[in-house]
Amino acid sequence: MTNQSHKTSVTNNLKLFSEAQQASLYVAHQIANLINEKEKQGKPAVLGLATGNTPKGVYQELIRLHQNEALSFKNVISFNLDEYYPILPDDQQSYTYFMRQFLFKHVDIKPEHTHIPHTDFSEEGIAQYCQEYEDKIESLGGLDLQLLGIGRNGHIGFNEPGSSFESKTRLVHLNSVTREDAKAAFGSMDKVPQKAISIGVDTISKAKKIILLALGKRKSDIMKLAIHGDVTTQVPASILQTLPQAEFVLDHGAAGEIKS
């Protein structure tokens, strides 16, 4: 599926930084500003959160803002993009564990306001669980901001190449490239899960603000395709070209293949 007729002006939505830390600080302050604005309005800030190495600097700055500059997370309701299936929440490779270690335990977010797909149950209940996850997001008026990383194969969340742009939260099969990249964390390929639960492309696309953060030279080839290539389900991140609320934030390494 390709669609070039609805491309937005990507150059207006592209922020380039010389260093990864600068890019991460920019994203963290975008999130902090939203939280503060929503607090002034007496409304919750509904955040879609990501895991992996890319957002760690963002979360470090958010923690600093909480500890040193009184940023409160009491009005934040969070939904994580994805989680491996099957995996236990206390497993050190789980995204539940990741979020606790790198953000949640350091700030004043209410535990009942954090949502991460639970995958420690049988496949029979997954469809209903995924629908309930979607319903929770929708009941809050959708995501105010979705933070994304990008896989080397162009995935956003665990929406692997071939994922429909109309996809919702569901059980997915992980691409070989994705599993290869996870091998170091799990110790060997046979320990890397073959499936995951992921928020869908359609769910991501409906967020009021979307920030895709890409850092490092190893992301430069896929960012060139995501920003300047065809809009195609083979590069799920390419759908962001068509969305005026989507912003690409890159450091020098990730922008290496993009012509000005």
Residues annotated as part of the active site: 82, 153, 155, 160
In what helix (H) or strand (E) does residue 198 lie, and over which residues does it extend?
A: strand 195-198
What Å distances lie between residue 59 and 25, 34, 85, 181, CA to CA? 9, 15, 24, 22
Alpha carbon 33 to chain centroid distance? 18
Beginning with the edge strand found earlier in the chain, give each strand of the sheet holding 210-214 in spatial order.
14-17, 246-251, 210-214, 145-148, 45-49, 76-80, 114-115
At residue 8's C-alpha, the angle toward residues 219 and 37, to 5°, is 80
The secondary structure of residue 175, as a DSSP letter, is P
